[in-house]
Amino acid sequence: MEYKNIIVETKDFITTITLNRPPTNSVNLGIREELNQAVTELEQSADTRVVIVTGAGEKGFCAGMDVSDIANITKGPNGNDVLNKIERSTKPFIAAINGYALGGGCELALVCHFRFMTDNPKAVIGCPEVNLGITPGWGGIQRLPRLLGKSKALDMILFSKRLPPPEALAAGLVDKVFPAANLMQEATAFAKALAKRPPLAVAAVLQGMSIGLEKGLEEGLRVDREWSSKLGKSKDATEGFTAFFEKREPVFKGE
């Protein structure tokens, strides 16, 4: 697929997806279709071990659904399905929040496994849909309480609060805050460290944790046992033990 609404770039096992509809990078049918396609392809790509998601420009990460594209809301992949696919990915996703992340933009950040945010005072994150008489429709109601706790999530959603970087960090909504000039550099450095980890073991942790949180402890443990058996026979496990005894850094290939 030729991408017109996003930019996809891969280097050193790290793929960066940039929402490319500045200044707000709001989600239209095109972004839903292209993001869905990109995530599907990257899940199967041996060239990608970590994914960074960010927004074009310096103003917004993503302002959520494009209200001018409301006529297309029922067309193409559903926003929930696209975000679920990211959350359930066996490859780590890092949200590099370079500006405001509101509504669907906040929900996109929530499904990423890690969230880094610029310290720009104009940058805010939240789900303000109740101001419009509607509710967060792409998982915010379910994911915010899992991250922040029930009362904090209710306070944020019911009062349409938009948290600036320091408050988002203190609440646990984002993991780290960096100066705007360093955001992508820091996200990339973190991604490089992740990319050196054994891909199969990373996939096992992500899938087991995701299924356990969604379907319960027993189902999660079942998946963990299946992965343990598979990993024990992998070339990466052989490399890991060999490197340990040879006192060198392992080189994992995802095999």
Residue positions annotated with a catalytic role:
107, 129
Alpha carbons within 13 angstroms on the beta-carbon side of residue 121 total 0
Q: What DSSP designation does 164 have? A: -
- Residue whose tokens read 């040879």: 246
The vertex-88 CA angle with 84 and 91, nearest 5°, equals 130
Token representation of residue 128: 């303000």
170: left (phi over 0), alpha (psi -120 to 50) or beta: alpha
Q: Tokens 């789900």 label which residue? A: 127
> Do 105 and 126 contact (CB within 8 A), yes or no?
no
- Among 205, 199, 196, 202, CA closest to 251: 196
